Amino acid sequence: MSTAPAPRAGWDSGRVDLSSLRLRPGPVDLASHPTSGSPWFDGDKAAGKEALATVAAELSDLQERLVATGRSHGAGAPSVLLVLQGMDTSGKGGTVRKVFGLLDPQGVRVASFGAPTPDELTHDFLWRVAPRLPGPGQVGVFDRSHYEDVLVARVRSLAPPEEIERRYGAINDFEAGVRAGGTRLVKVLLHISPDEQRSRLLARLDDPAKHWKFSPADIDDRALWADYQRAYEVALERTHREDAPWYVVPAGSKWYRNLVVAQLLRDELRALDLSWPSASFDPDEQRRRLTEQDPLA
Ligand code: AMP
Ligand code: MG
């Protein structure tokens, strides 16, 4: 793990400085990004949980505005999509539970992507993704995503090299279309170290209640750690865009990871700048009707 660069001027101690976790354009060296600790947050775990509670309250208000906008504007309403990627045990599932669990489930769309089915394999790799995007007024999260098709697919040679090569551009075009359709997009790599993964895998083996999360294939993937890191570096470098950015989030501390992702979502919702939809009726008239009416009469 490398040391993080010095905080920017104007660093706000009540929140994580997300701009420091945002990928910079250019070559990516994941070894230079921290995997643990709580960089850019000036506080301990208790302070982090307090900060999360503050973010959660605002998230809830903002998401209700989004749901309301979806109801009133229909297909014209915006949406937000968070793409979550990371090695096994990096905390994708925990992030979905802890952060998206703060939201009104009616406005949330969760999609997990496992190995493609035989039917899915007969189509282009993006074929199964498009139908799982968030609808108007929804906040969506992808637990793994179309990025697996340039990660595991590259590491395990599941497609010819020229097809893998084609996919980076196809992903950028696809994501540009998603943005053009009114969806704000943010992509997160939950970054952990191989040591952290070992202890998390051991914890899964030690606890029968966690066996369902374990797969013997996780150990095969772990053996290819360096190849996966390289595949991530290429994918991040080639798909980082101003309006579809990557964030590399140190995921060794769960409270910190949750705070960062909640803040990211909050910022995306803030950027939609949503007001409450105006009423399609006259409240004074409805109030008068309600006062004058006696349903038991
Ligand atoms: P998990 O997220 O631990 O339930 O595991 C899902 C598994 O599906 C992982 O091993 C992924 O690498 C695999 N997977 C997801 N998407 C793809 C894909 N497009 N091609 C091949 N394997 C995939
Ligand atoms: Mg797994």
115 lines ligand 1 (CB under 6 A): yes
- The answer to whether residue 261 scores a pLDDT higher than 80 is yes
282 CA to centre of ligand 1 in angstroms: 52
pLDDT grade for 14, boundaries at 50, 70 and 90: confident
Please give the average per-residue pLDDT across 280-286, as a whole number: 95
pLDDT of residue 297: 84
Type of residue at 230: R
- The answer to whether residue 8 scores a pLDDT higher than 60 is no
Nearest Cα residue to atom 9 of ligand 1 = 114
The Cα 116–Cα 148 span in angstroms is 10
pTM: 0.94
Choose the residue to mutate in 121, 123, 124, 144 for probing ligand 1, maximizing ligand atoms within 8 Å of C-beta.
144
pLDDT tens readout for residues 20-57: 999 999 999 999 999 999 999 999 999 999 999 999 99
Domain range 18-292, its CATH number among 3.40.50.1100, 3.30.70.1450, 3.30.70.2520, 3.40.50.300: 3.40.50.300
pLDDT grade for 198, boundaries at 50, 70 and 90: very high
DSSP class per residue in 230-289:
HHHHHHHHHH-BTTB-EEEEE-SSHHHHHHHHHHHHHHHHHHT-PPPPPPSS-HHHHHHH
pLDDT tens readout for residues 158-193: 999 999 999 999 999 999 999 999 999 999 999 999
Q: How far apart are the first and last CA of the chain?
A: 75
83 CA to centre of ligand 1 in angstroms: 14
